[in-house]
Structure 1
């Protein structure tokens, strides 16, 4: 099967659907590992003997390695073959998950979580690039990205549910053993169902650029995650953040002079990649924080068990899958810009609703309704922004584009979680004297959700501003904007359906 020329209509080969299922399962696994440990953290802490800082790094080690290596993983897939890199990433991920479940010391557990992140950094961009090649631009790609968005959101919510079930039934090690088993099954599915293709690109690997940006991202994510516990004025935090800035400037200088740059300028020639990644970073800044604060409120304030907390995420997961499925159809009727804006505002409304949570509240009153609204908005925005960030990218750079959009989401998430956790902790710490502890804790969560809602409202407005700015810059007075093929083009967020087959970013 030629991955670049498969049918994408109703008569698409059944094998194509099976391959999509395998690739979506790989993405689900990556997202699952992001949140599955959240509910189990108290049990993991007591079981392995972790300190407060060590408990935080059970989460941070995965996110740090994942976010720092995504660009390298995406480029490796472009040059070495995406299917090959995907299989290698799945093997590393499965082995690391098994090691985490068997770990008997804090150091081994944190190292295994970091190795999970290394595997995830190979899996995510390769799986997305293979999906883009499997479904050329058209309605089929829109449906495929709908599936992609559904499993991405379901992975985050499903991780909380599965983590609660496994922790309560068999103990925290099974949180990792289950991931290892599931990843092994996904590896076999990819090896069997995803067709081989000549997807290896030409050129050399930009080792210097890759090392520089990886170190820069490592410093950035480490500084941000450490700031949550050590504070923003800590010498180590400030050194890491300053080092990240210096290294990113150095990376930009290196890339201008290299013929085989890690991030070649051609990646941004469509005008959509930059807009998509900027908006995805802002969406990501509240994504990870959402799945961090909600389980804490349910367990620490409402007193829900790990199992009940996990089950409480089911409505959000269902809403997320529903939103991802309908997103391409909605975009086909009202346009991509309106769809993205509506999704972002819907999620913002849900987060604002969560900001009214009470210390003496209940799941049905304070969590259920807003979580459904958040799930719908999150998936609709995610599907459209993913499509936007990879639309029109040269085929030889598909893996890199997938790595870039995942990097911006991860780095945005690290920044957002660090800032929002610091805000929540500060509000709680400075609560009025005599205020009940649960009320002070809830006040911190309310502040975090209020700011999250403001960020997403700003993101929605920015999407509209990018649209207007693009129209002014691309359209000389009295003429219609055109693309490189001479066909009319509108702006980064909306494509003219008459100029090309509809895709999920403009279906």
Structure 2
């Protein structure tokens, strides 16, 4: 009888070329996330320089997020049908051109239009890059580490964007935040064209143009209605009309998808039982993600009086915590299981946001921002890695791009909706408080409310995660239906 203990299987480290390709694809994701947050610290300067109103200032953020979120599904399906490398290259080229146009914008309309086109490019980049990255690694610990890298660069892009935005705004002015993004996208484009191998040919299938148009218009109406409600009020006819149109179009989209053989979101995508749960939870996480990087820099600048550079530097601890959490996420999940990991991460981020809800008008960075930023960064990164893994786990290979587009869609659209709703709420609280409190205290009251509601949303999300993910258990290797990466041919299949 053989009594020798079997050692746990260890996944070998990625081959040098495999790791290099992952780093390049992660750089594409970093560029997309950078463009999401780099404008936040410069919003006061952009508003003054471009002549924006309060609503227009919000749309500098929402225009990018809405176009990005509304077209991610189409971008993911295009990557599956037309070739992931091809769609990534086109998306990077469009993204770089739109970034240049945003920096050179001579009017509010041109700036917002350029941000929309930026979002279109990002909608092609994000799902194609994620699908290519998942092609590099089969399911199992290797993929977990790859998703840890993905989470680290996503979080670093969000926090690093605030830092870079502060540096560039203070040194050369706000147009350079867009010029820097254009340069970064051009560099990544050059490297992708030279180094990423061509994928196999097009896959059979057709675009669901009707479904894409319907859901895109529905999301546009939804976020426009929420954003307009901030200034016009919830009973305004335009707001009610937009929200009603959004509900009608979303219902029409559901009917269309059930009847079309080439549905934008085919039912087979949800056969694993995990994709739906991962995307629902990611939408809730996203609803506070973008809002955090919107309100926190504003508090630092408008209330604490920090310069753009100091505000950006203040995000470094959050970025460091984010990168640490993303690195640790796969190890924690293997040790305690996916359900416990996701739940703990969401509660950790909720605790950080609840701590932020105690900010004061006469506070300081060290007393009010530093500690909660570290908690938020750890919780956000671990939750992001685990929910992304959940949302792509077991997806058929031919739908990898669509799955990547879907999880990015739910996060981005959740973020756009969350920002619109929280900005409306914070604005209402500030307006009411201004009737009997000084200006800085009124602003702080609005920000406190936004952080409090965000903490409540994440706490509820953590409870929901306990219910929806409890059957997934620890992440284990599953069989892959095709080779992910052939080091002999350097081909991504």
Give the equivalent residue in structure 2 for 1:335: 337
Which residue of the other structure, out of 298, 305, 313, is the alignment partner of 1:311?
A: 313
Which residue of the other structure, out of 425, 428, 442, is the alignment partner of 1:426?
A: 428
How many residue pairs align between the two structures?
471
TM-score (norm 2): 0.93
Q: Secondary structure at the match of 2:40?
A: coil
Q: Secondary structure at the match of 1:259?
A: coil
Q: Secondary structure at the match of 2:41?
A: coil
Give the equivalent residue in structure 2 for 1:41: 43
Which residue of the other structure, out of 435, 438, 441, is the alignment partner of 2:437?
A: 435
Contact 1:15 1:193 in 2 (8 A): no
Contact 1:161 1:307 in 2 (8 A): yes
After superposition, what is the alpha-carbon deviation per residue over 1:144-172, rounded to whole angstroms, capped at 9, x for unaligned?
Answer: 10000001111111111100000000111
Distance apart, 1:236 and its partner CA: 1.8
Give the equivalent residue in structure 1 for 2:95: 93
Give the equivalent residue in structure 2 for 1:482: none
Distance apart, 1:500 and its partner CA: 5.9
Give the equivalent residue in structure 1 for 2:22: 20
Q: Secondary structure at the match of 2:361?
A: coil
Which residue of the other structure, out of 489, 494, 501, is the alignment partner of 2:473?
A: 494
Distance apart, 1:199 and its partner CA: 5.8
Give the equivalent residue in structure 2 for 1:297: 299
Give the equivalent residue in structure 2 for 1:504: none
Cα distance in 2, alignment partners of residues 267 and 343 from structure 1 = 26
Contact 2:152 2:326 in 1 (8 A): yes
Cα distance in 2, alignment partners of residues 398 and 225 from structure 1 = 33
Return 5+ residue gaps in structure 2 as ranges.
Answer: 1-9, 481-493
Cα distance in 2, alignment partners of residues 401 and 438 from structure 1 = 44
Give the equivalent residue in structure 2 for 1:352: 354
TM-score (norm 1): 0.90
Q: Secondary structure at the match of 1:369?
A: helix
Contact 2:84 2:128 in 1 (8 A): yes
Cα distance in 2, alignment partners of residues 451 and 411 from structure 1 = 18
Cα distance in 1, alignment partners of residues 286 and 478 from structure 2 = 31
Give the equivalent residue in structure 2 for 1:485: none
Give the equivalent residue in structure 2 for 1:118: 120
Contact 2:334 2:475 in 1 (8 A): no
Cα distance in 2, alignment partners of residues 432 and 75 from structure 1 = 48
Distance apart, 1:81 and its partner CA: 0.7
After superposition, what is the alpha-carbon deviation per residue over 1:150-196, rounded to whole angstroms, capped at 9, x for unaligned?
Answer: 01111111111100000000111111110000100011121222221
The equivalences for 1:120-269 within 5 A come to: 120-198=122-200, 200-269=202-271
Q: Secondary structure at the match of 2:135?
A: helix
Cα distance in 1, alignment partners of residues 288 and 233 from structure 2 = 20
Distance apart, 1:497 and its partner CA: 3.8
Give the equivalent residue in structure 1 for 2:457: 455
Return 5+ residue gaps in structure 1 as ranges.
Answer: 1-7, 469-490, 502-507
Distance apart, 1:467 and its partner CA: 4.1
Once structures 1 and 2 are overlaid, which stretch shifts more, 434-443 or 288-297?
A: 434-443
Q: Secondary structure at the match of 1:137?
A: coil
Verify: 1:389 aligned to 2:391, yes or no. yes
Distance apart, 1:496 and its partner CA: 7.1
Distance apart, 1:58 and its partner CA: 1.6
Which residue of the other structure, out of 362, 365, 384, is the alignment partner of 1:363?
A: 365
Give the equivalent residue in structure 1 for 2:483: none
Cα distance, 1:418–1:54 mapped onto 2, change above 3 Å: closer
Contact 1:347 1:375 in 2 (8 A): yes
Distance apart, 1:499 and its partner CA: 6.8
Contact 2:336 2:474 in 1 (8 A): no
Cα distance in 2, alignment partners of residues 69 and 223 from structure 1 = 19
Contact 1:74 1:399 in 2 (8 A): yes
Cα distance, 1:63–1:467 mapped onto 2, change above 3 Å: closer
